[in-house]
Amino acid sequence: MTKLVIESDELPYTSLLIKTAIVDELKTISWAIEMTIRRLKEFEQKYKKTSVEFYQQFQKGITGDSEEVMEWAGEYETLLRLQQNFSRLKEIEIGDRRLF
């Protein structure tokens, strides 16, 4: 959990401004997650395995290191990072109040 402490003469306005910025970022991250999932599905259909299965094999060194393998691994790592960022933003509290 992330707790945000704000000191402002216009606290309600500042809180709303921050919430609006976070909502905008959540929309951007959601769009990026959708695009990344689409790309991962292309790999999954081509190679007939899930990205989770692929990535486990990749981490064990089973998949090789072709350009396409590295791209698939990169897309999967991007998805994980985007999902983590989305979750962290959703957990933010301002003062004693959760934003979402």
Over residues 63-95, the pLDDT tens digits come to 999 999 999 999 999 999 999 999 999 998 877
pTM of the predicted model over 0.85: yes
Over residues 27-54, the pLDDT tens digits come to 999 999 999 999 999 999 999 999 999 9
CA distances from 98 to 6, 17, 22, 86, 92 (A): 14, 15, 12, 15, 6
Nearest to 44 by CA among 32, 33, 55, 60: 55
